[in-house]
Amino acid sequence: MTDGLQTLEACGPFFAVERHKPGASPVAPWRPIRDLVDGDDALGDRIAAVRSVLATSARISAESVELRVAGSVMQLGVVARLLSPVLGFAAAVGRQLVFDVDSWWWQPEPGGAFPLSLPSTAFVAGPTDAGGGVRALDEVIAAIVAETRAACGVSQALLWGNVASAINGAARMVASTRPDLSDAVYAQAASVAQRLRLHRSSTGPFGPEFRRRSCCLIYRTASSTPQAICGDCVFT
């Protein structure tokens, strides 16, 4: 487990996790992941926060940032934050993380790599296949897709494209940091994508050749330059 945690920390903030005792209750500012999908204001607040950050970055008013753009960027960031540790840990040590909406905690800080804490029971020995570790997580991802669509009117195809992009981004980060894990992490990425039925969301294998079939829309808050288009975008 130590090697797995060290690998996650080395791969960057989207992978790093804290740990807490099983059965503990979150104390503010910690909140259970359930808050993002149980119909309270957490997801809407997250969209508003992302909208503000995008506006500040683009030097425009928050109202000038389309709601669907903020929703898409929010959903991409949240999904990437949840999936990255799952992929990285499975590739590094051959064990799956056990996801639970109540025992996985987060802090609603600005930016995609918000603090994430897992109970020690999440790091149990299990199959190498990360698809098993995402069996509960896939329901939350689907719920986040549905809630984001309802809140912002973003198409499902785009939002599931964000999920595929998050998987590829996480896998490429692991492969870049730990080249010895390249084969393992791309295998994990394919497994998770199969579990989430993402075969229509992208072209090419996971890795540098991956291209999504949609766009996350973030270019709509930036000037029309090549830097405004993501490397895996359908527009590249």
What was the pLDDT predicted at 224?
A: 47
- pLDDT tens per residue, range 3-17: 678 889 899 999 999
Render pLDDT for 83-137 as a digit per residue (tens, 0 to 9).
999 999 989 888 788 888 999 999 999 888 999 999 998 887 666 565 555 678 8
Measured distance CA(67)–CA(220) in Å, rounded: 11
Q: Is the pLDDT of residue 207 over 70?
A: yes
Task: Identify which has the larger pLDDT, 236 or 125.
Answer: 236
Residue 147 CA, chain-centre distance (Å), reads 15
* Cα–Cα distance for residue pair 97/89, rounded to 1 Å: 7
Task: Concatenate the DSSP letters of all residues of 1-43 into one string.
Answer: -HHHHHHHHHT-TTT--EEE-TTPPP-TT-EEGGGGTSSSSHH
pTM for the predicted model, two decimal places: 0.93
For β-strands 18-20 and 116-119, DSSP reports them as parallel
What are the sequence ranges of the domains in the chain?
A: 2-228
Rounded average pLDDT over 36-62: 91
First and final C-alpha spacing in the chain? 39
**Cα separation of 154 and 101, whole Å?**
24
pLDDT tens digits, one per residue of 134-178: 678 889 999 999 999 999 999 999 999 999 999 999 999 999 999
Return the exposure string of 199-231: e unless at least 16 CB atoms fall within 10 Å of the residue's CB, then b. eebbeeebeeebbbebbbbbbbbeeeeeeebbe
H or E element, residue 71: helix 67-93
